[in-house]
Amino acid sequence: MTMPHQNSIQRSNRRHFLATSAMRGGPLALACLLAQQSQANPKKPVIGPQQFDLQPKQPPRQPRATAMISMFMQGGPSQIDLLDPKPLLNQMHLQKFPGKIKYDNAAQASSKVFGSPWTFQKYGEAGTDVSELLPHFSSIVDDALVIRSMHTGVNNHGQSIHAMNGGRPQAGRPALGSWLTYGLGAESDSLPAYIAMTDPAGLPVEGVLNWSNGWLPSLFQGTVIRPVEPRILNLQPPPLWDGEVQTNYLNLLESLNRRHAQQRSGEHELQARNTNFQLAQRMQFAAEEATDLSRESKATHEMYGINDDATREFGERCLIARRLIERGVRFVQLFTRNQYWDHHGGIVKSLPASCRKVDKPAAALVRDLKQRGLLDTTVVHWGGEMGRLPVIQNEANIGRDHNTDGFSMWVAGGGFRTGTHGATDEFGHHAVEDVVNHFDYHATLLHLFGLDAEQLTYEQNGREQTLVDGQPAKVIKGLLA
């Protein structure tokens, strides 16, 4: 973690002083005062190359959260059919929408209101409304916070994914998991600090950029655990190399790499590669054990839905995520496949199927973390990059178009309160109350991890970069327990 350079601050102050003060005499005294302060508290220059590692780091403030599991529902779950009921939609079903709609696909657009085909009931002490499509989430709703006022304002999948997962709509920035491991390091020296878990049906939109380190050192890139065996490729050596032969080879390789790196200090990619070689050696034992679900009880398998074809795959990934967090992994992100929740058509059949896949395992994850005493310090996130519109798209095969102006997700544990937060308008189109922009969400997350979104910086091409990148991000106190 670095802080803005003192000379950058001085230049900014000098520009402000010249632009606002013109020929007044007072600013001269101000300039002298600033110079004196600079001399009294000079910033020590960075001498020599910077070094980066994954050693655990104490954040500036006492953290509430120490780990996070994000279940990323790529494509955009329909908030008005799952977590944000709007009775007016059903009252106006098939009538003309009375306001303006921002369509993504104008060719299939319709102005006809589409009421939700599914019923809602109130659950938990707070009486949170939950759709019949999420029966298992309703059973753990008292441990979760439903945020109904999410907003990115960028209606395409790729840009909104980057906003939710990387701070801004532009590609090429570090993912959230990279920032957390950069700021906090790892708690385990035998497992990666940041792990991405992909769907067997394919990668989400934007592919590997979802867990990219961007311009942070590659040490902080996510490591992929595959959804099928072998979950990590090339983890075990061929029989010819096993045992003492491999040990001698790796010891020699480490010695050569160390000598090579000493002659090229400051080359971050080389540092990262050497560190990853060492980690890979330790992972041969730790990773295989962490992903071995046969060590879990029959009751645990049933709780996660591993005995059911509809939930087996996602249930296995959720259970592995819990095992990884137990073993010191900092950040785990589970992805559904490309456009799995992008229901432009056929929503009446497709949305229930999507919910069946993830609902039981996601609820089991929260319940399991809680019974093991891990939920208090582990943030659990469920949501996508957008929601859906309140009108029909594709009248021949009814669906809903994109909506990034007001959508829902839920979080649990790690210092988040429970209940609901924020609201959309009466149609579920725009967030209108206690709006949570993607950058506010990120600032709040970092706050729970004991970090400051403006102070967690990385200098890239002479510019101090942050996750929120100059946006008016604020910690949303109403989200905190």
Q: What is the pLDDT of residues 186-223, one digit of tens each?
A: 999 889 999 999 999 999 999 999 999 999 999 999 99
Token pair 């992805």 in the structure block, residue: 335
Q: Can you tell me the distance from the alpha carbon of 121 to that of 139, in angstroms, rounded to the nearest whole number?
A: 12
* Inter-CA distances, 245 with 46, 237, 278, 394, 480, Å: 42, 11, 17, 63, 53
- Peptide bond just before 230 cis, omega within 30 deg: yes
How far apart are the C-alpha atoms of 393 and 94, rounded to whole Å?
A: 12
Over residues 401-430, mean pLDDT: 98
- Return the pLDDT at 105: 86
CB proximity list for 27: less than 8 A, separation 6 or greater:
17, 21
What integer best gives the mean pLDDT of the chain? 87
Q: Lowest-confidence range among 32-46, 96-110, 151-165, 189-203?
A: 32-46
| 3-class secondary structure, 333 | strand
How many residues appear in the chain?
A: 481
- In this prediction, residue 250 carries a pLDDT of 65
Report the distance separating Cα 299 and Cα 413, nearest Å.
Answer: 23
Q: Encode pLDDT of 290-335 as tens digits.
A: 999 999 999 999 999 999 999 999 999 999 999 999 999 999 999 9
Of 12-16, 104-108, 322-326, the range with the highest mean pLDDT is 322-326
C-alpha angle 170-173-401 in degrees, rounded to nearest 5: 40
CA distance 221 to 284: 19
Residue pair 227/233 in contact (Cβ under 8 Å)? The answer is no
Q: Of the ranges 74-83, 208-217, 267-276, 387-396, which one carries the lowest mean pLDDT score? A: 267-276
pLDDT at 461: 86
**Using 50, 70 and 90 to split pLDDT, how confident is the model at 249?**
low
- CB-based contact 339:205 (threshold 8 Å): yes
Residue 146 phi, psi dihedral angles, 5° rounding: -90, 120
Distance in angstroms between the alpha carbons of the first and the last residue of the chain: 27
pLDDT of residue 230: 84
Mean per-residue pLDDT for 15-25?
A: 38
What pLDDT sits at residue 236?
A: 64
User: Which amino acid appears at position 245 of this protein?
Assistant: V
CB atoms under 10 Å from CB of 16, counted, come to: 11
In the chain, % of residues over pLDDT 70: 79
Tell me whether residue 327 is exposed, middle or buried, using C-beta atoms within 10 angstroms of its C-beta: 0 to 12, 13 to 18, 19 or more: middle
- The residue ranking higher by pLDDT, 451 or 284, is 451
What pLDDT, on a 0 to 100 scale, did the predictor assign at position 17? 38
Question: What confidence score (pLDDT) does residue 239 get?
Answer: 65
Predicted local distance difference test score (pLDDT) of residue 228 = 86
Cα distances from 366 to residues 24, 65, 304, 330, 455, in angstroms, run 62, 15, 10, 17, 31
Q: With 70 as the cut, is the pLDDT of residue 425 above it?
A: yes
CA distances from 88 to 49, 103, 115, 137 (A): 61, 20, 8, 24
Which region among 129-138, 269-278, 378-387 has the lowest average model confidence (pLDDT)?
A: 269-278
Minimum mean pLDDT range among 19-33, 65-79, 267-281, 282-296: 19-33
Coil/strand/helix, residue 249: helix
Q: Hey, what are 141's tokens? A: 């709703």
pLDDT band at 96 (very low <50, low <70, confident <90, very high): very high
- Mean predicted confidence (pLDDT) in 342-369: 98
Distance CA 193, CA 210 (A): 16
Collapsing DSSP to helix, strand or coil, 36 comes out as helix
Mean pLDDT over 181-190 rounds to 94
Q: Provide the 8-state DSSP code for 375.
A: G
Model confidence at 6, in pLDDT bands (50, 70, 90)?
A: very low
pLDDT band at 114 (very low <50, low <70, confident <90, very high): very high
Strand-pairing partners, residue 428, are none
CB distance 144 to 476 below 8 Å:
no
- Is residue 36's pLDDT more than 60? no
Q: What is the pLDDT of residue 276?
A: 57
The token pair at 240 is 């010819």
Residue 240 pLDDT exceeds 70? no
